[in-house]
Amino acid sequence: MNKGKLYLIPSPLSESDIENVIPGPVLELLHHIGKYVVENERTARRYLSKAGLKGHIDTLTFVELNEHTKSEDVEKMIGLFEDGEDVGLISEAGLPAVADPGAALVDLCHRHTIEVCPLVGPSSLMLALMGSGLNGQSFAFRGYLGAKTDQRRADIRDAEKLSGALKQTQIFIETPYRSDALFTDFLNYLSPSTMLCVATNLTSSAQSIKTYPISEWKKHPIQIGKQPTVFLILK
């Protein structure tokens, strides 16, 4: 049976012009894919419309895969490939399957020997690391910290201890409405000499990347608000 391929399609991180952040060959490929697995259909439709598919959106097939999708429903998605057509995977922002529910579909494809094709595009994690001035030779992505105060405190201190022992940059993300709380936790729980980078609104005209020791951040605290942000520390 001829099976289609899974293309991992990057999406913009901000409202910047798509042509500035998504390579031309990726935008061209979008015109040749008729099925998409997406984290949010409305967001995906808006992205594809801006990418030049405005007149063809209603001819496309969309299947949602997000944090609420059941594992048995993911398994059923194998049927998307059985007619030999290619499928595109799109996340809310940046690279699909990285800190993203789409990883479950990638795993499914590997288990069924379906070719997986990752494509070039913006990664908030790598852009933040590049611009941080911290150790880009050894780094670890920690993802989201625990929601409870005691767990977050322990996670932050464990990350700082590991960073110091390995001289390794630790990278974190948070949902936008909790970014200010996480920033405050870093100020409260990290050592004064530990370096903290706060990278917000990456690739947008409002982009900001600042790296200071905690002692300096305490002198000039900031309000992040709901801006998408990546945090990096190095002990």
pLDDT tens digits, residue range 97-131? 998 999 999 999 999 999 999 999 999 999 999 99
Q: Which of 147, 165, 95, 90 is nearest to 123 (CA)?
A: 95
Predicted TM-score (pTM) of the model is 0.91
Q: Which residue has the higher pLDDT, 3 or 108?
A: 108
Domains of the chain: 6-118 (3.40.1010.10), 124-234 (3.30.950.10)
Q: Decide if pLDDT at 1 tops 70.
A: no
Q: Decide if pLDDT at 70 tops 80.
A: yes
Region 125-153: what's the mean pLDDT?
93
Identify the sign of the CA torsion 93, 96, 100, 105.
positive
Find the range with the poorest average confidence among 75-84, 142-151, 218-227: 142-151
Q: Decide if pLDDT at 16 tops 80.
A: no
pLDDT at 64: 96
List Cβ neighbours of 73 (8 Å cut-off, separation of 6 or more): none
Q: How far apart are CA 134 and CA 153, in angstroms?
A: 22
Q: Decide if pLDDT at 138 tops 80.
A: yes
